[in-house]
Amino acid sequence: MKISLDAMGGDFAPRAVIEGSLLAAEEIESSIILVGREEDIRAHMSELGAKKPESIEIVNSTEVIDMGEPLSRALRKRDSSIRVAANLVKSGRAEAFVSMGHSGAVMAAGIITLGKIPGVERPALATLIPTIKGTSALIDVGANVDSKPVNLLQFALMGRAFIKAAIEKENPTVGLLSNGEEDIKGNDITKQAHNLLKNNITNYVGYVEGKDILLGDVDIIVCDGFVGNIILKMGEGFVELLPRFIMKKIEGLSEGEGARPSLEYMSSLDEFDRLVRENFDYNQYGGAPLLGINGICILGHGRSKATAVKNAIHMAEGFAKGRLVCEMEKEFSKPPTLGKPVIN
């Protein structure tokens, strides 16, 4: 099995991406294809003092898509590292591709190059959310800022395949994010989606609120990408805020506001900080899969460093082994029951 990796994508590319690939090469069974300007890749490997492992191959591409580049211009770069990495999957040379680069270009490359699974109208990004009771999935987290009711239904179907491949859970529960639990809540799109989900999704529990996301009572939480991305970014901010907030309080105590904290107490806080980052930090998850396309595509955070890149490669290998695409095809093998529109 091979994973193609966009070496030029991300704020810290290519160095952080190359470093992450070297870390992953020591841990995974698959081999890695680094895609990008070969001269730059080899130069950074040399700076890192690393000899290219046999499990890493380099494929040259001549163009780079900058992180802030307009999508229309990015798509004209046919020899970009993103496009070449996606083409390696299409040609069968790789089973998955990973990029920390331009999110619009990565999603477009996935859709255009690999195509959509029959029945899928719009692909979506999903992520795993740590909860009190384990792990839940949130979908969509950024691929679609405006969604129709049928899209939200399809996100639920994608989420079921995602959960089955990610944590091997059968018959997951599904909830629709809204501004209240009552059927009368939500806007027109939410109400229409609620009706569709009731008619098509087994284990659909109805509306869930924002407070329910981390409680772990629902396995899959469905929302449009605009809302989902805000939730995701707020979670990233929370990971940075909480340890700093606590340490600021501790510093205040140390300066005379109260009893000086013991070494045992400080050690407990260090452990708490580690647990928060281990469970909530995007670096530990690596990236989000673009669901609904005919292949494995992992989109990582633009600020990813080596650890995040390594974990994104792990994720790509796991989904390739877990037959994510096959699970997705099963979910979309039966046409949905559309039912009657909801009239207010």
* DSSP-derived secondary structure letter, 51: P
Give a yes or no: residue 247 inside a domain: yes
- Model pLDDT, residue 120: 95
Residues 97 and 188 in one domain: no
CA distances from 241 to 35, 121, 139 (A): 36, 38, 24
pLDDT digits (tens, 9 = 90+) for 34-49: 999 999 999 999 888 8
Residues 243 and 271 in one domain: yes
**Rounded CA gap, 317 and 24, in Å?**
10
Give the residue-averaged pLDDT of 61-70.
94
Give a yes or no: residue 340 inside a domain: no
Total structural domains in the chain? 2
Residues 131 and 255 in one domain: yes
pLDDT digits (tens, 9 = 90+) for 121-158: 999 999 988 888 888 999 999 999 899 999 999 999 99
Residues 275 and 141 in one domain: yes
Give a yes or no: residue 315 inside a domain: yes
What is the longest distance spanned by two Cα atoms in the chain?
67
Residues 55 and 175 in one domain: no
List of long-range contacts for 112-116, beta carbons under 8 Å, 24+ apart: 112/75, 113/83, 113/86, 113/87, 113/89, 114/86, 114/89, 114/90, 114/293, 114/294, 114/295, 114/297, 115/293, 115/294, 116/292, 116/293, 116/294
- Model pLDDT, residue 184: 77
- Model pLDDT, residue 276: 55
CA distances from 287 to 28, 100, 143, 197, 299 (A): 17, 8, 13, 27, 5
- Model pLDDT, residue 53: 86
Its pTM stands at 0.85
Which residues span the domain enclosing 26? Answer: 1-120+292-325
Residues 99 and 144 in one domain: no
- Model pLDDT, residue 343: 37
Cite the DSSP H helix spans in 219-336.
225-252, 263-280, 282-285, 306-321, 324-331
**Rounded CA gap, 194 and 183, in Å?**
8
| pLDDT exceeds 80 at position 85 | yes
Residues 247 and 319 in one domain: no
Residues 100 and 244 in one domain: no
What mean pLDDT is reported for the chain? 86
- Model pLDDT, residue 59: 97
Q: Rounded to the nearest 5 degrees, what angle is found at the Cα of 181, between the Cα atoms of 175 and 185?
A: 105
CA dihedral sign, ordered 311, 314, 320, 326? negative
**Rounded CA gap, 230 and 233, in Å?**
5
**Rounded CA gap, 82 and 64, in Å?**
8
Residues 131 and 246 in one domain: yes
Give the residue-averaged pLDDT of 289-297.
95
Percentage of the chain lying above the pLDDT 90 cut: 61
Residues 256 and 138 in one domain: yes
Task: Give me 197's structure tokens.
Answer: 């989900």
CA distances from 273 to 143, 241, 263 (A): 31, 11, 15
- Give the CATH number of the domain where residue 111 resides: 3.40.718.10
Task: Give me 60's structure tokens.
Answer: 């040259």
Q: How many CA atoms lie within 13 A of 15 on its CB side?
A: 7
Give a yes or no: residue 36 inside a domain: yes
- Model pLDDT, residue 117: 95
Give the residue-averaged pLDDT of 213-240.
87
Give a yes or no: residue 343 inside a domain: no
Residues 67 and 13 in one domain: yes
- Model pLDDT, residue 298: 96
125: nearest Cα among 285, 322, 266: 285
Last residue of a domain, which of 258, 285, 312? 285
| pLDDT exceeds 50 at position 95 | yes
Give a yes or no: residue 342 inside a domain: no
Residues 6+ apart with CB under 8 A from 264: none
Give a yes or no: residue 107 inside a domain: yes
Percentage of the chain lying above the pLDDT 70 cut: 85
Give a yes or no: residue 152 inside a domain: yes
pLDDT classification of 264: cutoffs 50, 70, 90: low
- Model pLDDT, residue 163: 92
- Judged on CB neighbours under 10 Å (0-12, 13-18, 19+), 340 is exposed
| pLDDT exceeds 80 at position 224 | yes
- Model pLDDT, residue 280: 55
- Model pLDDT, residue 108: 94
**Rounded CA gap, 25 and 55, in Å?**
7
Distance of CA 263 to the CA centre of its chain: 38
Residues 134 and 25 in one domain: no
Q: How many residues does the chain have?
A: 344
- Model pLDDT, residue 113: 95
